Amino acid sequence: MDRSVLIQNTAGSVSRTAKKAMHLWLRFRRSDEGSTAIEYAIMVAGIAIVIVATIYAVGEKTLGLFEAVQAAW
């Protein structure tokens, strides 16, 4: 079935509103804003994991340094 038949008015021509609605629908389908947000969320999660791992590694070394200073005190 032809899509244009579904959106024709009684005069047989396609209305301006129908054309605008079809244009908005096609633009919505081509939009990649949602996927971009997901990509940014994945990048932020990866950066957060690296930061936590770095803080954990530095924290272990710092704890050892403080224990050595405390023992020497």
**pLDDT one-digit tens code per residue, 19-33:** 888 888 787 777 666
Neighbours of 14 (CB within 10 A): 16
Q: Is 35 helix (H, G, I), strand (E, B) or coil?
A: helix
Residue 53: its pLDDT value, please?
92
**pLDDT one-digit tens code per residue, 6-57:** 555 555 566 778 788 888 878 777 766 666 778 889 999 999 999 999 988 8
**Does the pLDDT value for residue 71 go beyond 60?**
yes
Residue 1 structure tokens: 């079935």
Total-model pTM: 0.44
